Amino acid sequence: MKDLIIFGNGKIADVVFYYAKNECNYNVVSFTVDRKFIGENRFHNLPVIPFEEIKDHYKPADYSIFIATGYQDLNRLREAKYLAAKELGYEIVSIVSPGSKIPSSVKHGENCFIMPPAIIHPAVEIGNNTFVWSGAMIGHHSRIGNNCWLTSCTNISGVVKVGNNCFFAVNSTVGHGVNIGNECFLGANTLVTKNLADKKVVIEESSKVFRLESEQFLRFSKFTDL
């Protein structure tokens, strides 16, 4: 196992660093971001190196890298940095927590991040550069494309096919056997039971605010008597 460089110096990199170091036993030696985004030159007491200079400090033959950025622009930023790191010749690893306990028949690509406790059934395929956040579920024989993001409590039923660069918000649900096209956005609490073409957006309106304020509601409902 090569020493690891993490691309990123924000909240996502913070989470990835924890799992890489504490659960996957990687020796993280440095962080890297584009020069214009370097605020502090240390992160977790490790050096932050401009990505433009990373080969000068860490030879690709000797180090691996993980791209730990968010889902900006439907994951295109993370996709671009993933491809740039490959172009430089670095080995791109995945960070899959042993606590996720994924079945041995699950296949995943490079630069995948799977956080426990995810629920992933046998015979699932996950492409490159896809993040599966805690509490997400992927049903049997489903295929998740490249550059996707499944937030906590996303529910993908069995035999679902998801295209590339899709985003699934908290508690979004896809029914059995549904196909989701490329670059789709599913908002929180959405339910999709029919196929979606490319670039579709599905959202639910926010719940209406109740007419009573909290103290009035508690008195009216006798909630405090329970």
pLDDT at 150: 98
Look up tokens 């959202």; give the residue: 203
State how beta strands 131-132 and 63-67 pair.
unpaired
116 and 60 co-located in one domain: no
For CA atoms 109, 138, 196, 189, the dihedral sign is negative
Let me know whether 9 and 62 are in one domain. Answer: yes
Of residues 225 and 26, the one with the higher pLDDT is 26
- Return the SS3 of 164: coil
22 and 57 in a common domain:
yes
β-pairing verdict for 42-43 and 46-50: antiparallel
- Measured distance CA(161)–CA(145) in Å, rounded: 8
Closest by Cα among 180, 204, 87 to 130: 180
pLDDT value for 34: 97
| 45-74 average pLDDT score | 96
What's the CATH number where 168 sits? 2.160.10.10
Provide the pLDDT confidence category of residue 152 given band limits of 50, 70 and 90: very high
Range of the domain at 66: 3-93
- Between 212 and 48, the more confident residue is 48
105 lies in the same domain as 183: yes
| DSSP code of residue 176 | T
Confidence bin at 224 (pLDDT 50/70/90): low
Q: What is the mean pLDDT of the chain?
A: 95
How many domains would you assign to the chain?
2
> For a pLDDT cut of 70, what percent of the chain falls above it?
98
Tokens at 3, concatenated: 């020493």
Residue 223: per-residue pLDDT:
60
Surface-to-core class of residue 216, CB atoms within 10 Å of its CB (0-12 exposed, 13-18 middle, 19+ buried): exposed
